Chain A
Amino acid sequence: MNWYGCYTLFTREVRRFLNVNMQTIVAPALTAVMYLIVFSYAMGDRQVPGMEVDYFNFLIPGLVMMAMLQNAFANTSSSIMVGKLMNVQIILMMAPLSALELIVAFLSAAVVRAVIVGVVLLLVLVPFTHIPIGNIGFILFYGICGSIIMGAMGLIGGMWSKTFDDMALLNNFIIMPLTFLSGVFYSVKQLPEMWQSVNHWNPFFYLIDGFRFGFLGVGDTDPYKAMSIVLIATLISIAACLKLWSLGWRLKE
């Protein structure tokens, strides 16, 4: 095993986003603060129906998780995309790195970025409120699994995209709708029956709901059922990355 190579790739990926931290860390924090301000003014100090929770407190975990998911996706997808355009992928393919070493490096870096963004956001948002931390285990489990899943999706999306247009298409038509319709801004219990069941097919819904449960101790689904769904999704997405990379899908002629 070439773990040193894997570690090198991991540090490269981490340095890559730290070098442009205005764009990769500060900007997402700013966006989240703006969402929080706008939505909490709009909603006033209403409570979330069916839960004994302030809307404000309900919103924070969702915003944090949404930013984490989007950043995990952005980290791998932009790295692969730029790598393809600049031919750096060739260097990676020539190096003695197995698919496993490569995927471990890429996904760990995505998780690190997501966690940094998540922590920064919490530090920025918490002064506005008094949000409890109910169960740190849940928070970590959902935070990390969610980042892995999104990092993996970013990797696959990056491999699939031939141009930045393809990437924008993925972002606008798949990633954005799934994150926005996942119950960040509302409780699915507020939705009509039909939309509730649609939401249960959205994997992001479980991630955000479980993450929020870790803070507030209340949620829209059974967090243990959600846990097994998330765990399976994590494993499937890692396996898909391994398979596609070793096939050289859309990378190797």
Chain B
Amino acid sequence: MSFAIEVNQLQKTYTNGKTALSGVSLAVPEGSFFSLLGPNGAGKSTLINILADTVKPTSGSVQFLGHDLFSERAWCKRRLGVVPQEVAFDPFFAPRDILKITSGLYGVKPDKVWIEELLERLELTQHAGKNSRQLSGGMRRRLLVAQALVHKPKIIILDEPTAGVDVELRKRLWDFMRELNRNGSTILLTTHYLEEAEELCNQVAIIDKGQVLTSQSMTSLLNSVGSSTLALGYHSPLHITAEQHITLEDFSPRVDGNALLLTLKKDTAGNSNFNDAYQAAISCFGASSTVSIEDEDLEDVFLRLTNNPAEVQA
């Protein structure tokens, strides 16, 4: 497999002594839709700013499509479009001019058709002639997205592109990203909207305190680390005896009123030990009146991993 982005042993200690990254290694497969997740202060933006060449790493290497960022800066940057987390805008020009200028800075003659399409897709056409001082916060962020795309980069990196963007526009933005991804661009994004990440992305990495907790495909993460809960409903409140507890031990049994809750594990192929758990439960309490399975979603996995990193095996 070839990688759009490869980061090796990246370390960053800021001048104030704060270590934001302590040895981060990541590989983003070409063509993937990759989400970089982590709680506030995890080091996501630090990593992205190093990729964007606006922050210097203390040590480590970065490669784009096999080319080293620090020895082939211009080559890499032409293929890279980054939306920084912090809003940046040029107060001297209107959005349409800003897009033309940004294109030019990347050495690309402004493509009028593409610029109009970007304005349209990001709902900025109406505001394209205004001075950018008059744009609202959400518009400024969308303008930044347009700026990152204006030179048609192969690799698109977005640091919380939807922060402060309303629901409807957020959906449209994601549709646009999906389309770009289908057309061959690799996308790396950070977001705190985990349902969106789960729905959009096929690769995921979770980082916390400057370290990678896990990095794999979305399905394998949800299968291998994510567990499911089997809930068996009975007619009367349950009580688990010590003996029953031993029988059910593998499934960390809990009782919630009339329901018995058992934790299911999945193997890497996604098959769970549902049968074993079900049989064990019946042997203790007899057949239940209801059976349901609740899968952990990305948010549950995320919370579990960031609260208890020791659990990560993958």
Contacts and interface: CB of A to CB of B under 8 A. Distances in A.
B86 interface: yes
Interface stretch (A8-16, A58-66, A199-207, A216-224): A8-16
Which of A5, A15, A91, A92 counts the most chain B CB atoms within 10 A? Answer: A91
Interface string A88-105: 111111111110000000
Interface in A206-253: 248, 252-253
A7 interface: yes
Given A96-B77, A96-B106, A88 B88 contact: yes
A235 B142 CA distance: 42
Tell me whether chain A's interface is mostly helix, strand or loop, or mixed: helix
B101 A12 contact: yes
A248 B56 contact: yes
A129 interface: no
B27 interface: no
B56 A253 contact: yes
B274 interface: no
A2 to B, nearest CB: 4
Nearest to B102: A91
Nearest to B88: A87
A252 B54 contact: yes
A3 to B, nearest CB: 8
A16 B92 contact: yes
A129 to B, nearest CB: 37
Interface residues of A, number: 28
Contact of A86 (B14, B82, B88): B88
A157 B87 CA distance: 24
Which of A8, A88, A92 counts the most chain B CB atoms within 10 A? Answer: A8
Contacts of B104: 4-5, 7-9, 11
A82 interface: yes
A88 B84 CA distance: 11
B311 interface: no
A145 B265 CA distance: 74
B105 A92 contact: yes
B53 A94 contact: yes
B92 A19 contact: yes
B184 interface: no
Interface string B282-313: 00000000000000000000000000000000
A13 to B, nearest CB: 10
Contact of B107 (A4, A82, A91, A94): A4
Contacts of B92: 15-16, 19
A94 B90 contact: no
Interface string B98-110: 0001101111110
Contacts of B87: 87
Interface size band for B:
20 to 34
B86 A93 contact: no
B15 interface: yes
A5 B306 CA distance: 43
A243 to B, nearest CB: 15
B90 A96 contact: no
A12 B110 CA distance: 14
A196 to B, nearest CB: 44
Contacts of B56: 248, 252-253
Contacts of A91: 88, 90, 102, 105, 147
A73 to B, nearest CB: 19
A253 B147 CA distance: 23
Contacts of B102: 91, 95
B26 interface: no
Contacts of A253: 14-15, 49, 55-56
Nearest to B100: A8
B89 interface: yes
Contacts of B90: 86, 88, 91
A90 B88 CA distance: 7
A90 to B, nearest CB: 5
Nearest to B84: A90
B73 interface: yes
7 contacts: A4-B104, A87-B89, A91-B147, A94-B54, A96-B77, A96-B106, A248-B56
* 3 nearest A-B residue pairs (beta carbon): A8-B104, A87-B88, A96-B77
Interface of B: 14-15, 49, 52-56, 73-78, 80, 82, 84, 86-93, 101-102, 104-109, 147
Interface of A: 2, 4-5, 7-9, 11-12, 15-16, 19, 82, 86-98, 248, 252-253
Given A16-B92, A88-B88, A93-B53, 12 more contacts: A4-B109, A5-B106, A8-B105, A9-B104, A86-B88, A86-B90, A91-B147, A93-B52, A96-B77, A98-B73, A252-B54, A253-B55
